[in-house]
Chains A and B, each alone.
Chain A
Amino acid sequence: MPLDPSAFNQYREFMGEDADAFIADIVQTFMTSAPKALEDMKALIAAGKRTEFVRAAHTLKSNSATVGANDLRQLCETMERQGHTLDSAALESMLAQAVREYQQAERELKDWLAK
């Protein structure tokens, strides 16, 4: 399951009645920032800017962890860790995989928000 809804559990419990608004805000932000981040990462691979790429992967990793998109997080972590060593082709295929993971996560997040 690419999405782990329990990621928000602790916040839900803590935020009480503010929880839904709070979580919705976070998820919305994620859904606006993540596609842009993925695009940026693609451009960064092409430009050979590996340091920036690794940083972007790190940020996306952190964000996907927050919303519970575990598979995406795992991919980002690998890209972060190996961003300096892997060749561009490998990174690109990984990134393509990440885009797919994101789309999957986005669908689930939307469903989940609708509930």
Chain B
Amino acid sequence: MKNASQSNRRKYMELYFWLGVMLGVLPPVLAILTELYLQQLPLTVWAIQYVLRKNPILWVFNLGPLVLGATGYFLGRQQDLMINLTASLEQRVAQRTAELRQSNQVQEILNSLLRLSLEELSMQETLEQALERIINIPWLPTEPKGGIFLTSEDDPNVLLLRASHNMAVPLLKSCARVPFGTCLCGRVAQSRTILFTDCVDERHEIQYEGMKPHGHYNVPIVHRDKVLGVLVLYVSDGHQPQPNEKEALQAIAHTLASMIAARQAEEDLTRQKKFFETLVQTSPAAVVVMSSDQTIQSCNEAFVSLFEYTREECVGQKLDALIVPPEAHEQAQQYSQQALAGNLINQIAQRRSKNGRVIDVKISAVPVRIEGETVGVIAIYHDITELLQAKREAEEAAKAKADFLANMSHEIRTPLNAIIGMTSLLLDTRLDDEQANFVETIRNSGDTLLAVINDILDFSKIEAGKMTVEKVPFNIAYCIESALDLVAAKAFEKRLELAYVLQENMPVKFQGDITRLRQVLVNLLGNAVKFTQAGEVTVSAAVENVQGSLYTLHFQVRDTGIGIPKDKLHRLFEAFSQADTSTTRKFGGTGLGLAISKRLIELMGGTIWVESEEGKGSTFHFTIQAEPASGTASLFPRQAQPNLSNRRLLVVDDNDTNRLILQKHAASWGMSVSAAASGKEALQRIEQERFDLMILDMQMPEMDGLTLAQEIRKHPTAAQTPLIMLTSLGRKPEGAEGVAFNAFLSKPIKTSQLYNTVCEVLAARPSAEAVAPQKQAVFDPSMGDRHPLRILLAEDNLINQKVAIGLLKKLGYRADLAANGLEVLEALRRQEYDIILMDAQMPEMDGEQAARIIIERYPRGKRPRLAAVTANALEGDRERFLAIGFDDYISKPIQVEELVRVLQNTVPLPRKTTRPLRLHGESTSSGD
């Protein structure tokens, strides 16, 4: 076409040129001929020359051919260009049209592939239909033959022939499985680039007999960098590829890739969905799916069989209306709300089946969330009816066991107590040495047996998780003192010093379980005394840490005993473990004590540990957590006491710890304290200065307390100084009467007792003034005058009345009487009292009830002090009464010391009236 247009162009240019020349020749020829004719000249060369010479204008005409020829040339050229332009335009249009048609067809095929992907077809059908469409693209010079391979799911380096069209039968077999790198398709899968061949060459590895020559397009199907498969198309032998063919095939492969990928994902999803559906349907747990308004959307087989509703009966119904019993509606509603709010629910509850069967279920519920929005809830119900039944049975069995154990231990303990009690009595009778030895052994064995039984009972309680700790107000100082009391006898026998010290200014009233704390302390103290031959055993308590209202209290029980070998330390707190079996033989014990202590301490939120050095002693540490009880006041005053301040005290004790404790306490009350470590030193001190009071330890080497006291009583200046003797177990040493001690204090030193005694001894005395020693100064018959109180005795029992009134009278008090709680209230309406001594058990209204009413009616500070008097000397009774609101506690039969202490601690209420005190008021009533 180009050549043709080129020749055309030339033709037009020449044609127009010559036409122009010829048209240009005409005017000069006509002009010359006209001139010749006008001049009457002949047509000769001469005549022409003549005319030309004569008419120079003719030269202008002679230029005609030249001008017109040139014009023609240019016109021709113009024409030529026009034609040329048109031709090329036509050509371009045709080309573009062809291109458009092709791309349209590609587009169409792509569209149809996309449509295919939207249809609900299996992968197989999709591939087959896609293949059919691709090989039928009209412009593609393919033969209507081809196939699609997909990468195997099991082996990502193998192609599997998944769809084929018109492929030769032998190939279907040999191409069913093509490893990557093998034959054309395998190569393409590896190289990931499109491959074209126009003949069967050496790369065409898979061949068969009678194969006709052909070429191929092998197109990799790649999606997100992953080879999904290969598309193979046949072209005729010797086909010249056009560039747009590759492009189109690329686009098709691309679409095919996303189609296959989508289909694969879909298949995965379907498979997964089926898997989960099967899982849910065959799950032994009842599963129900609800919308956010708790309408059931679906449920599984187990749900149907558990709740006895058919699926049709469930779906569309509200879950709660079907299976929640009316009384649990509110709670069920809460669970649903919580699940919808996005929380996981894990609860045990009761649900009801269609037939009204009550089922114990464990409910797990999870919110169903789609893109952050909760659209429903899945609830899972495990039937635990049988489980709970089994649990109940097991618990009953455990309870029966525990009851049996408790009963047994009671049954054992009752006769055992009799054995111990009777042997104690027997020991007080006249026995010869051998008999005494036998009885002593029986008595000790009884004690040991009792301890073992108590330990085993406690341990089994703890093991069964039955041991609970109480939370009632108690006083730490009292707790430690009462623990020390229990080991005092043993310590005395071994001549061990016992002492305790509280951190200065620490609160002493806490909420906790005094009985358990005391048990731990007694255990540790018992061990300490048991394993110490000489020296001392001390207890200390301190606040280790305060977090908000929670205190961590640190206790230490230190001894100077045999210590524990390092390699035995770690097993110390295990059950049935003592440091050594030989230890058991030598010292006795069940080996349960520390294990029990450890558990008890853990129950109280603490830990226990030990530091020990063999031969030097051990320190057991433990912590507990407790909140201070309201009104955290010290049991005894910590601040300086006016009547004690600056009074001079001499402490004589050879034991450093005891001396230090005494010094510390006295100093905290404002006393000026000196100390001496021996009787000799003490005698030197009294030569130098005078004291208001001396506290002497009984047991001291060289010069004991009694000898020292005798010396002091002989001393010219110090003879009249009040003396307090420190003894063990309150046993007055023989000969003490002769010395006239003003008071005896038993060790371990109880702070409150020390305080009261010091106060009492010093009360009536002016500073450092000599007063004749009194008999029975501990119980002051003038106490009623010194410390007047209005007392109401609430007691229905005549004997108890007589005892109490007799004792009070001796102290200088007279009390009014009430026979029951009602009479107490009646008496309070008539008159104010400073203290009520209230029997716990009275007819009509008992003491506990009366106390509650009084506490309710009269505010603190306006009501009398309430002291409970009870014959039930059970452990923990005291705490129980204090918890009710009683201020104090006396056990029956009434001990004089206790009565004095209670009265001493009573602060009279401010008197309303100015009339004289009715110290010796008339009885308002008399019981019995």
Is there an interface contact between B807 and A26, defined as CB atoms closer than 8 Å? no
Contact across chains for A14 and B892 when beta carbons are under 8 A apart: no
Are A33 and B893 interface neighbours, CB within 8 A? Answer: no
Residues of A with C-beta under 8 A to B871: 58, 61-62, 65
A79 to B806, CA, bound (A): 29
**A65-B892, A66-B892 given; A25·B802 CB < 8 A:** yes
What is the CA–CA distance of A12 and B892 in the complex, to the nearest angstrom?
17
A25–B804 alpha-carbon span in the complex (Å): 13
Asked if B797 is at the interface of the complex by the 8 Å CB criterion, the answer is yes
Q: In the complex, what's the smallest C-beta–C-beta distance from A21 to chain B, in angstroms?
A: 9
Contact call B810/A62, Cβ cutoff below 8 A: no
Alpha-carbon separation in the docked complex, A14 to B893 (Å) = 15
Bound complex: CA of A6 vs CA of B65, how far in Å?
Answer: 175
Contact with A along B882-908 (1 / 0, CB 8 A): 000000000011011000000000000
> Is B803 a contact partner of A26 (Cβ separation < 8 A)?
yes
The residue among A11, A33, A65 with the most chain B CB atoms within 10 A of its own CB is A11
B639 contacts the other chain (CB 8 A): no
> Does any Cβ of B come within 8 Å of A90's Cβ?
no
Taking residues whose C-beta sits less than 8 angstroms from the other chain, chain B's interface range is 20 to 34
Distance between Cα atoms of A30 and B798 in the complex (Å): 9
**B4 proximal to A (CB < 8 A):** no
- Over the window 18-29 of chain A, the binary record of Cβ atoms lying under 8 Å from chain B Cβ atoms (1 yes, 0 no) is 100010011001
Asked if A14 and B896 sit within 8 Å, CB to CB, the answer is: yes
For residue B425, CB closer than 8 A to chain A, the reply is yes
Q: Which one, A14, A25, A63, contacts B797 given CB within 8 A? A: A63
- Is B841 among interface residues, defined by CB-CB distance under 8 A? yes
Chain A residue, CB-CB nearest to B897: A10
- Contact between B425 and A1, CB atoms less than 8 A apart: yes
Interface status of B843 (Cβ within 8 A of chain A): yes
> In chain B, residues 623-642, which have Cβ atoms closer than 8 Å to a Cβ of chain A?
none
Closest A residue, CB atoms, query B775: A16
The CA-CA distance from A115 to B625 in the complex, in Å, is 57
Across-interface contacts of A29 in B (CB, < 8 A):
798-799, 802
Separation of A65 and B895 alpha carbons in the complex (Å) = 12
A107 CB-CB contact with B under 8 Å: no
Residues of B within 8 A of A65 (CB): 871, 892-893
A78 to B803 CA separation, bound complex (whole angstroms): 24
Closest chain B residue, CB of each to CB of A14:
B896
Do A15 and B892 touch across chains, with their CB atoms under 8 A apart?
no
Q: Would you call A7 an interface residue if the criterion is a C-beta within 8 Å of the partner chain's C-beta atoms?
A: yes
B385 within 8 A of partner (CB): no
Report whether A11 and B799 are in contact in the complex, using a CB–CB cutoff of 8 Å.
no
Instruction: Indicate whether A7 sits within 8 Å of B893 (C-beta atoms), given known contacts A14-B810, A16-B776.
Output: yes
Which residue in A18, A25, A26 is a CB contact (below 8 Å) of B810? A18
Please give, as numbers and ranges, the residues of chain A lying within 8 Å of B776 by CB-CB distance.
Answer: 13-14, 16
Measured between beta carbons, the chain B residues less than 8 angstroms from A30 are: 799
Q: Does B425 contact A26, Cβ atoms closer than 8 Å?
A: no
Partner of A14, one of B425, B779, B796, B798: B779
Say yes or no: is A55 at the interface (Cβ < 8 Å to chain B): yes
Residues of A with C-beta under 8 A to B806: 11, 15, 18, 22, 25-26
Query: Whole-angstrom distance from the CB of B806 to the nearest CB of chain A?
Result: 5
Bound: A25/B807 CA distance, A = 13
CA distance A25 to B802 in the complex (A): 8
A55-B810 CB under 8 A given contacts A1-B425, A66-B892? no
Minimum distance in angstroms from A111 CB to a CB of chain B: 18
Query: How close is A26's CB to chain B, nearest CB, in angstroms?
Result: 6
Of chain A, the residue at the smallest CB distance from B846 is A55
Q: How far is the CA of A16 from the CA of B779 in the complex (A)?
A: 11
- Residue pair A26, B896 in contact (C-beta under 8 Å): no
Across the interface, which residues of B come within 8 angstroms of A63, CB to CB?
A: 797, 799-800
CB of B428 to closest CB in A, whole Å: 9
| Contact present for B807 and A59 (CB under 8 Å) | no
Checking B779, B802, B928 against A26 with a beta-carbon cut-off of 8 angstroms, the contacting residue is B802
Bound-state Cα–Cα, A67 to B802, Å: 12
Q: In the complex, what residue of chain B is closest to A27 when comparing beta carbons?
A: B799
Interface residues of B in 754-804 (CB under 8 A from A): 776, 779, 796-800, 802-803
User: Is A55's CB under 8 angstroms from B841's CB?
Assistant: yes
Q: Are B807 and A14 in contact (CB under 8 A)?
A: yes
The reply to whether A55 and B843 contact each other, CB–CB distance below 8 Å, is yes
Contacting residues, chain A, for B798 (C-beta < 8 A): 29, 33
CB pair B810–A15 under 8 Å, yes or no, is yes
Q: Which residue of A lies closest to B810 (CB)?
A: A15
CB atoms of A11 and B807 under 8 A apart: yes
Q: In the complex the two chains form, what is the Cα distance from A104 to B802 in whole Å?
A: 23
Given known A-B contacts A26-B803, A29-B802, A62 and B895 have beta carbons under 8 A apart = no
Q: Which chain A residue shows the least CB distance to B429?
A: A1
Q: Which residues of A contact B892 (CB under 8 A)?
A: 62, 65-66
A98 CB to nearest chain B CB (Å): 16
**Alpha-carbon distance between A11 and B896 when the two chains are bound, in angstroms:** 7
- In the complex, A61→B806 CA distance in Å? 20
**Which B residues lie within 8 Å of A33 (CB)?**
798-799, 928
Q: How far is the CB of A59 from chain B (nearest CB, A)?
A: 5
> Residue-by-residue, is A53-87 near B (CB-CB < 8 Å gives 1, otherwise 0)?
00100110111011100000000000000000000
B807 near A66 with CB under 8 A, answer: no
With both beta carbons as reference points, the residue of chain B lying nearest to A37 in the complex is identified as B797
Q: Which of A18, A25, A29, A62 has the most CB of B within 10 A?
A: A62
Across the interface, which residues of B come within 8 angstroms of A18, CB to CB? 806, 810
Task: Please judge, given known A-B contacts A1-B425, A15-B810, whether A10 and B895 are in contact too, CB under 8 Å.
Answer: yes
Contact B841 A26 (CB under 8 A): no
Mark each residue of chain B from 570 to 590: 1 if its CB lies under 8 Å from any CB of chain A, else 0: 000000000000000000000
When chains A and B are docked, how far (Å) is the Cα of A67 from the Cα of B776? 23
Q: Tell whether, in the assembled complex, residue A66 and residue B803 are in contact, meaning their CB atoms are under 8 Å apart.
A: yes
Q: Which residues of B contact A67 (CB under 8 A)?
A: 799
CB closest residue in chain B, given A58: B841
Distance in Å from the Cβ of A23 to the closest Cβ of chain B? 9
Q: CB distance B799 to A66 under 8 Å?
A: yes
Q: Which residues of B contact A13 (CB under 8 A)?
A: 776
* Structural contact, B896 and A59, CB atoms closer than 8 A: no
| Chain A positions within 8 Å of B841 at CB level | 55, 58-59
In the complex, which residues of chain B have a beta carbon less than 8 angstroms from the beta carbon of A66?
A: 799-800, 803, 892-893
Q: How far is the CA of A14 from the CA of B777 in the complex (A)?
A: 10
Complex Cα distance, B807 from A85, in Å, reads 37
Residues of the A chain whose Cβ atoms lie less than 8 Å from the Cβ of B802: 25-26, 29
Binding site for A on B (CB under 8 A): 425, 776, 779, 796-800, 802-803, 806-807, 810, 841, 843, 871, 892-893, 895-896, 928
24 pairs from A and B in contact (CB 8 Å cutoff): A10-B896, A11-B807, A11-B896, A14-B779, A14-B896, A15-B806, A15-B807, A16-B776, A18-B806, A25-B802, A25-B806, A29-B798, A29-B802, A30-B799, A33-B798, A33-B928, A55-B843, A58-B841, A62-B797, A62-B892, A63-B797, A63-B799, A65-B893, A66-B803
In the A-B complex, the 8 residue pairs with the smallest Cβ-Cβ separation, listed nearest first, are A62-B871, A63-B799, A66-B893, A14-B896, A22-B806, A65-B893, A59-B797, A29-B799
> 4 more A-B contacts (CB under 8 A) besides A14-B779, A55-B841, A66-B800?
A1-B425, A14-B776, A59-B797, A63-B799
